[in-house]
């Protein structure tokens, strides 16, 4: 990661207004955001109201993105009737709360993809957001899930291919990927983590249950890299398959 101060921490202080702090290096921004989350700071509405944004996005924020709202009227038998609304959105996609699992062939947005409490996101192919992906229920894709910022689900996160987030991957239940799982900062699961290939977290890795890496049935003889579980620190979880590498310990040895 670059040590240049090119990141800002953004947080909502009302439903529509937000303020920014910075500039920071990426590491400084992550430290501030994690510290604020654990202070019970009343200025922020919820944990999800904190975001890290690159300098370019900070200076271009005044250019309002369109918001595609998905409500009960847009759903038929659990599927979005006009899938073109979410297939290549130039702005944000926001799904109303209480809709259950909302299905489309794919979800793609230049901004964020959010689903309210009691609503989940499921794609036959991939889910891709330039910013964050967040759902009160599950997030599931037949192919990959990728977000420029964080991926958060109240329940589980599952992808037929890989899962990748610029910052945090967090699930209330398990995290499962056919290929690898990668986050710029932390990966946290309320249950277990199962990756077909390697797992990489720039910061903390935590799972309430067991952790597996390198179990893809397509791998006849997985390499060490495909079985590697790399993180700064393993906070919680039992490594049942794969090789754990904690970079904080490597740094201590180097010193």
What is the mean pLDDT of the segment spanning 113-130?
96
242/9: higher pLDDT = 242
Q: How far apart are CA 229 and CA 46, in angstroms?
A: 30
pTM, two decimal places = 0.79
pLDDT at 115: 95
Q: What share of the chain is helix, strand, coil (3-state, %, to 5)?
A: 15, 45, 40
Peptide bond into 165 cis (omega under 30): no
Q: Give the confidence band of 135 by pLDDT, cuts at 50, 70, 90.
A: very high
Q: Are 68 and 36 in contact (CB under 8 A)?
A: no
| pLDDT tens-digit map of 196-217 | 999 999 999 999 999 999 999 8
| pLDDT tens-digit map of 38-66 | 554 444 434 445 566 655 444 444 457 88
- What does the block give as tokens for 101? 């699992």
Q: How far apart are CA 175 and CA 127, in angstroms?
A: 15
Give the least confident one: 32-46, 155-169, 176-190: 32-46
Residue 114 neighbours by CB under 8 Å, 6+ apart: 92, 93, 94, 95, 132, 133, 134, 135
pLDDT at 42: 42
124 φ, ψ (degrees, to nearest 5): -65, -35
Given a cut of 60, whether residue 83 has pLDDT beyond it is: yes
Rg (CA), the chain: 18
Q: Give the confidence band of 87 by pLDDT, cuts at 50, 70, 90.
A: very high
- Exposure string of 92-117, with b = 16+ CB inside 10 Å and e = fewer, is bbbbbeebebbbbebbbbbbbbbbee
Give the least confident one: 128-132, 143-147, 197-201, 238-242: 128-132
Q: How far apart are CA 208 and CA 193, in angstroms?
A: 9
Q: How far apart are CA 38 and CA 168, in angstroms?
A: 16
101 φ, ψ (degrees, to nearest 5): -80, 125
């Amino acid at each position: 990661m670059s040590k240049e101060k090119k990141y800002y921490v953004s947080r909502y202080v009302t439903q529509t207004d937000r303020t920014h702090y910075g500039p920071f290096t990426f590491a400084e921004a992550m430290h501030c955001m994690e510290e604020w989350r654990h202070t019970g700071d009343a200025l922020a509405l919820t944990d999800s109201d904190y975001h890290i944004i690159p300098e370019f996005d900070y200076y271009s924020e005044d250019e309002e993105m369109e918001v595609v709202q998905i409500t009960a009227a847009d759903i038929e038998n659990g599927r979005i009737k006009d899938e073109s609304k979410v297939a290549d959105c130039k702005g944000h996609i926001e799904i109303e709360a209480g809709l259950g699992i909302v299905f489309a062939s794919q979800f793609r947005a230049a901004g964020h993809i959010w689903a309210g409490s009691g609503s989940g996101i499921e794609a036959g192919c991939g889910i891709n957001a330039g910013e964050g992906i967040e759902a009160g229920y599950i997030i599931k894709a037949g192919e990959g899930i990728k977000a420029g910022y964080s991926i958060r689900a109240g329940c589980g996160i599952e992808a037929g291919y890989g899962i990748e987030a610029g910052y945090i991957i967090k699930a209330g239940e398990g995290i499962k990927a056919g290929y690898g799982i990668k986050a710029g900062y932390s990966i946290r699961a309320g249950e277990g983590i199962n990756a077909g290939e390697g797992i990489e977290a720039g910061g903390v890795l935590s799972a309430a249950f067991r952790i597996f890496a390198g179990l893809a049935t397509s791998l006849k003889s997985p390499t060490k890299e495909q079985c590697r579980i790399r993180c700064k620190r393993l906070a919680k979880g039992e490594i049942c398959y794969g090789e754990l590498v904690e970079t904080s310990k490597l740094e201590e040895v180097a010193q």
